């Protein structure tokens, strides 16, 4: 009798439920649950023969990225946003606008990325999905910081941390929120607050440092060490800052090896971190190390033809 029960469960599952499971598994770095949820998601789509043009457009954009055709990729991302906005599906619209924001970040258009992220956040609020809202807050706060809008980013970071606390979210979601706010505090010169948030985030990350297959976790670890590096530099502890940048590079390398993440964005993040490492090594007069880091940074950017 177990088979009929399983079939009934799949039939009663909605597309929204499956997206929620996928998002939750990703945020908690639960690869096994992620595989199950994705498998059921594709099975559901095949059974229902869902006609979702934004899925096709997203695939086309990824193909243009692989071909390094940035103009066509941008046009496709924008088209996906236009289509999604007319389908009365906030979750799908969030994804389309978040993809556009990530592309703008890749090409160095940080103000445009922040604008797209704000639209993604508005769609996420309408979706009623707590995990999607958290991811949207994270994306918008990061884009604001990259655009230099530090004071605007702080209330977004505060909302993100409060969101985790209110909903009892621990592990990777809580760590990501705390690390982003710590980055904001460093940029504001609030060193004590930044140290507090980094310390609070570490217990959520430390037990799972060896999970190299969990790309989300490794990316968060990289962000933690990058923020620690900025904090150490602000305190004029330059040797420790360089060591932190080096550790961040190691975690970015692990993310680049993750087969589940395609496209050039992960290499761009590694290149950015290598660039910061080169600058930190110059400060401590490690000319050879700085030259090697900068050489690898520039080689990566040439490899992916990053237009920045």
Instruction: Look at 105-109, 123-127, 194-198, 204-208 and tell me which has the smallest mean pLDDT.
Output: 204-208
Query: Alpha-carbon distance 114 to 101, whole Å?
Result: 7
Instruction: Tally the domains of the chain.
Output: 1
Average pLDDT, the chain: 86
CA-to-CA separations, 12 to 40, 91, 92, 164, in angstroms, rounded? 12, 20, 21, 29
Q: Is residue 286 part of a domain?
A: yes
Residue with tokens 């993750």: 258
Query: Alpha-carbon distance 146 to 109, whole Å?
Result: 10
Residue with tokens 């980055």: 183
pLDDT greater than 70 at residue 89 = yes
Closest C-alpha among 22, 52, 42, 261 to residue 132: 22
Closest C-alpha among 91, 75, 77 to residue 19: 91
Cβ-in-10-Å burial (0-12, 13-18, 19+) of 215 comes to buried
Q: Is residue 50 part of a domain?
A: no
State what percent of residues in the chain have pLDDT above 70: 82
Non-local CB neighbours of 7 within 8 Å, separated by 6+ positions: none
Q: Is residue 162 part of a domain?
A: no
pLDDT greater than 70 at residue 96 = yes
Which pLDDT score, from 0 to 100, does residue 6 have? 37
Token pair recorded at residue 92 = 């799908």
CATH number at residue 279: 1.25.40
Which pLDDT score, from 0 to 100, does residue 128 have? 85
Q: Is residue 269 part of a domain?
A: yes
Q: Is residue 83 part of a domain?
A: no
Cα-trace Rg, the chain:
20
Q: Is residue 250 part of a domain?
A: yes
Can you give the residue range of the structural domain that contains 225? 209-308
Q: Is residue 25 part of a domain?
A: no
Which pLDDT score, from 0 to 100, does residue 46 have? 46
Query: 30-79, pLDDT tens digit by residue?
Result: 545 555 655 555 455 444 434 467 778 888 998 998 888 999 999 999 99
Q: Is residue 220 part of a domain?
A: yes
Instruction: Look at 7-21, 63-77, 101-115 and tell me which has the smallest mean pLDDT.
Output: 7-21
| Backbone angle region of 30, left / alpha / beta, with phi > 0 → left and psi within -120 to 50 → alpha | beta
Compute how many other C-beta atoms are within 10 angstroms of the C-beta atom of residue 7.
Answer: 10
Cβ proximity of 156 and 177 under 8 Å: no
Which pLDDT score, from 0 to 100, does residue 3 have? 38
């Amino acid at each position: 009798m177990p088979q009929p029960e399983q079939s009934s469960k799949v039939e009663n599952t909605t597309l929204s439920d499956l997206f929620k499971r996928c998002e939750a598994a990703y945020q908690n770095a639960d690869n096994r649950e992620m595989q199950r949820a994705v498998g059921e998601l594709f099975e559901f789509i095949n059974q229902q023969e869902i006609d979702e043009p934004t899925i096709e457009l997203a695939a086309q954009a990824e193909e243009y990225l692989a071909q390094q055709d940035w103009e066509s990729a941008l046009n496709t991302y924008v088209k996906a946003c236009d289509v999604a906005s007319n389908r009365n599906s906030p979750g799908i619209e969030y994804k389309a606008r978040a993809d556009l924001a990530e592309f703008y970040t890749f090409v160095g258009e940080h103000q445009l990325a922040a604008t797209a992220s704000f639209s993604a956040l508005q769609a996420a609020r309408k979706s009623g999905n707590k995990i999607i809202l958290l991811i949207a807050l994270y994306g918008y706060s990061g884009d604001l910081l990259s655009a230099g809008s530090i004071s605007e980013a702080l209330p977004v970071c505060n909302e993100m941390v409060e969101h985790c606390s209110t909903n009892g979210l621990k592990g990777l979601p809580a760590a990501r929120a705390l690390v982003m706010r710590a980055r904001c505090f460093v940029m504001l010169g609030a060193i004590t607050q930044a140290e507090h948030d980094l310390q609070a985030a570490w217990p959520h990350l430390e037990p799972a440092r060896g999970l190299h297959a969990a790309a989300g976790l490794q990316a968060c670890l990289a962000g933690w060490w990058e923020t620690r590096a900025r904090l150490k530099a602000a305190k004029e502890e330059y040797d420790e800052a360089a060591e932190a940048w080096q550790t961040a590079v190691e975690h970015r390398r692990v993310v680049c090896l993750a087969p589940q993440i395609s496209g050039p964005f992960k290499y761009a993040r590694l290149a950015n971190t290598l660039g910061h490492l080169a600058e930190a090594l110059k400060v401590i007069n490690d000319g050879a190390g700085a030259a090697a880091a900068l050489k690898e940074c520039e080689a990566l950017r040439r490899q992916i033809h990053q237009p920045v």
